[in-house]
Structure 1
């Protein structure tokens, strides 16, 4: 299979070398002014744009991904700008991002370990706003382990990435396709030597970071965009 991207050479300086292939972590990808503007736009959205889940709430922009394909919707200019900027880095192999998921995490909220699945180009990119978080990675449950060997989150834990506000995180290859990622529902994060990008994220082992409200913009490319009548089973 072809590599999922044609990443520009000047991005190589942002590779996280202490993680499996492939992580790019770009601090200060956007400015503080851009961050404030994006947060204003997120919170200007109508109440009906939000979906409330048990552990967070979210907005879906660009369409609803579906196994038959996504019924595409035009992105607003304030999101299209960053889809274009990230796509220009080569993150989606020459394709342009067309889907953004906005997640709001209050302190104490997180998300269970999961994978993003086959509906997307095998790359996920995330701009973080408002607060840091610690993104944890886990090996998948293996059928080759002995039946009496417990496969807990703790035993499958691999490493973490410290994601600071205004940064861009790009995950590809094994870090996207093989390992699960999640966020612990906690109010504070202890920075250990298992944080693979601790220096690039401007922290040190032993630091204790208190979470605020974080808004993430998960920017992806859905390759298959279809007409409404296809999803409805009509010709």
Structure 2
């Protein structure tokens, strides 16, 4: 969904993100809201609840929660920062941890997201642009991995385009 939020809203969200503390125990910086996710053990447990989502996230959580695929409002938001050359390996978001819909909102920067169908190896890709919301549900949620290749540029519209800092918000519902 291109243009899911207006530029002013993305700037407001980015200012709140940049004013908060980052976790630096991964190859990229992250922030967790609502629930902490253990990347090493790939789990969320009842004692990992951080608390309610902050007020500055309320408008965007409401908008994302209104997307028809969501059965209830997201209660976990992870902020990811990708600098040029950083990415995330192919994965399916933890199935027992999170509900049937995952959404990601790009605030800044672009990057190619690559999808691979687990059973066939079929490959597709999508350029994630600022202000775009991507929603993974049904087959896209469970049967395809998604990744952002770690590189400094992407091939877009027939040209090589250098990456810049990309910040995204991932919205999920915890099933603990």
TM-score category of the 2 structures, normalised to the smaller one = 0.7 to 0.9
Residues 41-85 of structure 1 show CA distances to partners (whole Å, capped at 9, x for unaligned) of 001003xxx221443110010022545445351111111221111
* Aligned pair partner of 2:151 in 164, 186, 196: 186
**Following superposition of structure 1 onto structure 2, how do residues 68-217 of structure 1 map, counting pairs within 5 Å?**
68-69=45-46, 71=49, 73-93=51-71, 95-118=72-95, 119-140=97-118, 156=121, 158-191=123-156, 204=157, 206-217=158-169
User: What SS class does the counterpart of residue 67 from structure 2 fall into?
Assistant: coil
CA distance 1:67–1:53, shift in 2 (3 Å): closer
CA contact (8 A) 2:35 2:44 kept: no
| Residue 220, structure 1, aligned to residue 168, structure 2 | no
Q: Distance in 2 between matches of 1:68 and 1:129?
A: 29
Deviation for aligned residue 1:27 = 0.8
Q: Distance in 1 between matches of 2:50 and 2:138?
A: 26
Q: TM-score, normalised by structure 2?
A: 0.88
Residues 18-41 of structure 1 show CA distances to partners (whole Å, capped at 9, x for unaligned) of xxxxxxxx1111111111111110
Q: Distance in 1 between matches of 2:137 and 2:111?
A: 19
Corresponding residue number in structure 2 for 1:61: 33
Q: Distance in 2 between matches of 1:80 and 1:33?
A: 16
CA contact (8 A) 2:29 2:81 kept: yes
Structure ID, larger Rg:
1
* Aligned pair partner of 1:38 in 7, 13, 22: 13
CA contact (8 A) 1:136 1:157 kept: no
User: What SS class does the counterpart of residue 218 from structure 1 fall into?
Assistant: strand
Q: TM-score, normalised by structure 1?
A: 0.67
Which runs of no fewer than 5 residues in structure 2 stay unpaired? 38-42
CA contact (8 A) 1:120 1:220 kept: yes
CA contact (8 A) 2:88 2:149 kept: yes
Q: CA RMSD in A?
A: 1.9
Write 1 or 2 for the structure with the bigger share of strand. 2
Which runs of no fewer than 5 residues in structure 1 stay unpaired? 1-25, 143-154, 192-203, 225-235
Corresponding residue number in structure 2 for 1:200: none
